[in-house]
């Protein structure tokens, strides 16, 4: 896919790297030369510098031909302009990364973006995952899919799948020490060294099952 990223923050550069490694064509735009120079020193991708409050840099970079535009500048006004430009040009998918929930709500209410993520949400999710020592994804309000590493949570060693389900979790699969996936394991399945357990449930139930008081 062709993906355009507006705003070359550190997070955006990391995202560009990962997407580039996955084989996507990346275009990066920013209004600061030092940030574009940083990208150019790390990645061989198309980059453009210009005033993001005007249309020139958007037209020059031809981001209207992108499959996805990610507006991730720290300046909310520039994100709104980028989303408006992309919407007007008919870009198939528009994602905005905003600093405030107010901007997120505005972009949603006027239909300028398909998806909005606030930096506060990203930070809070990262902190919660660090506190509980899991990797999780929020799939709906108060419902999460999480990967639990049994090596990190020794209290789960020799426990059965039934234990997790008694704590209000649904065990979707176990990845064993050899990387083999066992979907929908039986309740009698015993958790061992090297296992990673994929569960779905409320975050408070996950923390309770792991003995973490959050």
- For residue 183, the surrounding DSSP H or E stretch is strand 181-183
Q: What is the pLDDT of residues 110-144, one digit of tens each?
A: 999 988 888 877 777 777 788 788 888 887 767 88
Instruction: Looking at the structure, tell me whether residues 89 and 143 fall in a common domain.
Output: no
Residue 140's domain comprises 135-209
In this prediction, residue 116 carries a pLDDT of: 87
Instruction: Looking at the structure, tell me whether residues 100 and 139 fall in a common domain.
Output: no
CATH number of the domain that residue 174 is part of? 3.30.70.1450
Instruction: Looking at the structure, tell me whether residues 117 and 88 fall in a common domain.
Output: yes
Q: Among the three residues 54, 89, 122, which one is the final residue of a domain in this structure?
A: 122
Instruction: Looking at the structure, tell me whether residues 143 and 91 fall in a common domain.
Output: no
Instruction: Looking at the structure, tell me whether residues 117 and 140 fall in a common domain.
Output: no
- Give domain status of residue 6, yes or no: yes
- Give domain status of residue 214, yes or no: no
Instruction: Looking at the structure, tell me whether residues 44 and 143 fall in a common domain.
Output: no
CATH number of the domain that residue 105 is part of? 3.40.50.720
Instruction: Looking at the structure, tell me whether residues 117 and 178 fall in a common domain.
Output: no
pLDDT range class, residue 214, cuts 50, 70, 90 = low
**Structural domain count, the chain:** 2
Instruction: Looking at the structure, tell me whether residues 52 and 104 fall in a common domain.
Output: yes
Q: What is the pLDDT of residues 16-71, one digit of tens each?
A: 998 999 899 999 999 999 999 999 999 999 999 999 999 999 999 999 999 999 99
In this prediction, residue 206 carries a pLDDT of: 92
User: Going edge to edge, which strands form the sheet with 93-98?
Assistant: 46-49, 25-30, 2-6, 68-71, 93-98, 115-118
Q: What is the pLDDT of residues 190-202, one digit of tens each?
A: 999 999 999 999 9
pLDDT of residue 203 exceeding 80: yes
Tokens read off for 56: 């020139």
Alpha carbon separation from 87 to 16, 90, 120 (Å, rounded) = 22, 5, 25
- Determine contact, residues 113/95, Cβ cutoff 8 Å: yes
- Give domain status of residue 129, yes or no: no
In this prediction, residue 213 carries a pLDDT of: 58
- Give domain status of residue 205, yes or no: yes
In this prediction, residue 159 carries a pLDDT of: 96
Instruction: Looking at the structure, tell me whether residues 84 and 184 fall in a common domain.
Output: no
Instruction: Looking at the structure, tell me whether residues 41 and 70 fall in a common domain.
Output: yes
- Give domain status of residue 158, yes or no: yes
- Give domain status of residue 141, yes or no: yes
Instruction: Looking at the structure, tell me whether residues 172 and 115 fall in a common domain.
Output: no
- With 0-12 / 13-18 / 19 or more C-beta atoms within 10 angstroms meaning exposed / middle / buried, residue 202 is middle
In this prediction, residue 182 carries a pLDDT of: 95
In this prediction, residues 98-104 reach a mean pLDDT of 85
Instruction: Looking at the structure, tell me whether residues 82 and 180 fall in a common domain.
Output: no
- Give domain status of residue 128, yes or no: no
In this prediction, residue 47 carries a pLDDT of: 95
């Amino acid at each position: 896919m062709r993906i355009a990223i507006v705003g070359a923050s550190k997070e955006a550069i990391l995202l560009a790297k990962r997407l580039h490694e996955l084989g996507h064509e990346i275009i990066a735009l920013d209004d600061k030369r030092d940030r574009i120079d940083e990208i150019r020193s790390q990645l061989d991708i198309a980059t453009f510098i210009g005033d993001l409050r005007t249309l020139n840099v958007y037209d020059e970079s031809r981001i209207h031909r992108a499959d996805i535009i990610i507006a991730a500048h720290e300046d909310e006004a520039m994100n709104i302009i980028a989303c408006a430009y992309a919407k007007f040009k008919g870009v198939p998918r528009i994602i905005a990364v905003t600093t405030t929930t107010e901007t997120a709500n505005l972009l949603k209410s006027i239909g300028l973006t398909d998806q909005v993520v606030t930096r506060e949400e990203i930070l809070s999710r990262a902190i919660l995952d660090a506190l509980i020592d899991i990797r999780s994804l929020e799939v709906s309000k108060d419902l999460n899919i999480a990967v639990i590493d049994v090596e990190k949570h020794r209290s789960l060693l020799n426990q059965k799948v039934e234990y997790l389900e008694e704590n209000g979790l649904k065990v979707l699969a176990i990845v064993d020490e050899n990387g083999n996936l066992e979907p929908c394991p039986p309740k009698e399945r015993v958790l061992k060294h090297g296992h990673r357990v994929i569960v779905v449930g409320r975050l408070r139930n996950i923390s309770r099952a792991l003995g973490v008081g959050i």
